[in-house]
Amino acid sequence: MSEATKLGELWSIRNAAANTLILSEAQMRQAVREATVDQLVTLIEMYSPARSTGTEWTRTFEPLVERLWAWCEDDTMAALADVFKARGMPWMAVANSFMPEHGARIRASLRQPAWARMPAFVIA
């Protein structure tokens, strides 16, 4: 295989992966928008160190927070902050992720290039 062909194939594979990711992001956006606060709380509880399946799972927390700030209304985010703030110190990092100041930072940092279907989210 020539170098040019190899590069072309690698780029096609990368584009296919990006398309798959974009479709799954679209599905996730729809599911998040339809979810109740309780359902979102249940999802976030999976990030407890006692329930996490490992560090690879926990590292996806920040990408999730980014998407929640992009897709949820402010009152939903405020409700999430209240739920986790009430749980005290062990959940403080989670509660702080749902504070309006943090949300403002995230929303200001998300950009949507003209050629992209989605904002430039953190992937992993």
Partner 1 sequence: MVALHGPATVEQLREEIQGVRYREATTTFCRLVTEEGQPIKSAIKEAIASAAPYVQVPAHIMRLPTGEMRGVNYDHTILGWRGAISLMREFEGARGILPSVQAMWYVPQGLNIWEQIICEFPGHYARDGEQCNRKFPGPDDDVNRFDGPAWTAPKIYFEDHDPIEGGSVEDRLTRLTWAIAEGNREESYGLFLGLARDPANREQLKNAVLFSGIVDLQDTIINRGGYQNIGHKALRARALVDIADYLGWDNSHELMYTVVPDLGCAPRLHGLWTEINNLCKMELPGYAAIPKRTEAPLSENELDMLTEVLLWGGPYQVNDTIMGLFKRGAGILDITDAVMACFQRYLIDVLEHPFAFLHPTHAIDYMNVVQSWIRNHDHPHQVKAAFMAARFMNDTIRSNAMYPRDPNYTLEPRQNYRGWADEIAVDRLLPVLKQYTLAQDAPRACALVDSYLDRTDERQALLETITYAACHWQNDPHVMRNCASSLEEWRHNRTPRRDDIIRGYVKHQSRYVKRAPTHDCYEVFKEHFRPNDGSER
Q: What is the binding site for partner 1 (CB under 8 A)?
A: 47, 49-50, 52, 54-55, 58-59, 61-62, 92-94, 96-97, 99, 102, 105
Query: Nearest approach, Cβ of 39 to partner 1 (angstroms)?
Result: 19
Residue 7 amino acid letter: L
Smallest gap, in angstroms, from Cβ of residue 118 to partner 1? 22
Q: Give the residue carrying structure tokens 């996806």.
A: 60
Task: In angstroms, give the least distance from the CB of 117 to partner 1.
Answer: 27
Note the residue count of the chain: 124
- Long-range Cβ contacts of 38-44 (<8 Å, 24+ apart): 40/68, 40/72, 40/76, 40/80, 41/80, 41/83, 44/80, 44/84, 44/94
Task: Report the nearest approach of partner 1 to the CB of residue 115 (Å).
Answer: 27
Q: Which is nearer to partner 1, 25 or 52 (by Cβ)?
A: 52
**With the C-alpha atoms ordered 54, 55, 56, 61, is the resulting torsion angle positive or negative?**
positive
Is the CB of 49 or the CB of 113 nearer to partner 1? Answer: 49
Residue closer to partner 1 (CB basis): 5 or 88: 88
